[in-house]
A and B are shown apart, each in its own frame.
Chain A
Amino acid sequence: MDSDHANERVIDGDKSLSDVTHDIFSPLETRGSGRWWAGFLLAVSALLLGLVAVGYQIVTGIGTWGLNRTVGWAFDITNFVFWVGIGHAGTLISAVLLLFRQKWRTSINRAAEAMTIFAVMCAGIFPLIHMGRPWLAHWVFPYPNPRGSLWVNWRSPLLWDVFAIGTYFTISLLFWYVGLIPDLATARDRAKGLRRHVLRFFALGWTGSARTWSRYEIACVLLAALATPLVVSVHSVVSADFATAVIPGWHATLFPPYFVIGAVFSGFAMVLTLMLVARKVMHFEEYITERHVGAMCKILVFTGTIVGLAYMTEIFTAWYSASAYEQFLFKNRAMGPMAWAFWIMVSCNVISPQLLWLRKVRTNLGLVFVLSLVINVGMWFERFVIIVTSLTRDFLPSAWAGYTPTSIEIATLIGSFGLFFTAFLLFCRFVPMIAASEIKSVLLRRRAGDDRPLAAGETQPPADADARRAA
Chain B
Amino acid sequence: MSRRIHVALYTSEEKLLGALRASRKAGLTVLDVMSPYPIHGVDDLVGIPRSRLPAACLAGGLLGLGLALWFQYWTSSVDWPIDVGGKPWNSLPAFAPVAFEMTILFAGLATIFGLLLRSGMLPGRSGVIRDLRVTDDRFALVVTRPDAAVTDTELAQLWRDTGAVEHRDIVEREGDR
Contact = CB atoms under 8 A, between A and B. Distances in A.
Do A and B associate with each other?
yes
Interface of A: 16-18, 21, 142, 148-157, 159-160, 163-164, 166-167, 170-171, 174-175, 178, 181-182, 185-186, 188-190, 200-202, 204-219, 222-223, 226-227, 229-230, 233, 237, 240, 437-438, 440-441, 446-451, 466, 469-471
B111 A216 contact: no
Contacts of B80: 148-151
22 contacts: A154-B91, A159-B98, A160-B97, A182-B37, A201-B124, A205-B122, A205-B124, A205-B127, A209-B32, A209-B34, A210-B39, A212-B119, A215-B51, A215-B119, A217-B38, A218-B51, A218-B53, A223-B111, A449-B12, A450-B11, A450-B12, A469-B40
B157 interface: no
A110 B7 CA distance: 32
Chain B interface bracket (under 10, 10 to 19, 20 to 34, 35 or more): 35 or more
Contacts of A182: 36-37, 135
A186 B136 contact: yes
Given A151-B76, A154-B75, A223 B108 contact: yes
Contact of A226 (B34, B91, B108): B108
A210 B122 contact: no
A193 to B, nearest CB: 15
Contact of A155 (B84, B115, B116, B134): B84
- The main secondary structure of chain A at its interface with chain B is helix
A470 to B, nearest CB: 6
A465 to B, nearest CB: 9
B76 A167 contact: no
A164 to B, nearest CB: 5
Nearest to B36: A440
Contacts of A201: 123-124
A223 B136 contact: no
Interface string B104-144: 11011101101110111111111111101111110010000
B15 to A, nearest CB: 7
B170 to A, nearest CB: 14
B98 A219 contact: no
B94 interface: yes
Contacts of B118: 215
Contacts of B43: 210, 214
Nearest to B91: A155
| A159, A207, A470 pick with most chain B CB within 10 angstroms | A207
Given A204-B122, A223-B108, A437-B37, A142 B128 contact: no
Nearest to A438: B37
Most chain B beta carbons < 10 A, residue from A16, A142, A441: A441
Contacts of B9: none
Contacts of B100: 229, 233
B37 A440 contact: yes
B79 interface: yes
B129 A155 contact: no
Nearest to B74: A151
A186 B135 contact: yes
Contact of A207 (B54, B79, B112, B127): B127
A287 B115 CA distance: 29
Contacts of A174: 108-109, 112
A210 B91 contact: no
Contact of B115 (A178, A185, A189): A178
Contacts of A204: 116, 121-123, 125
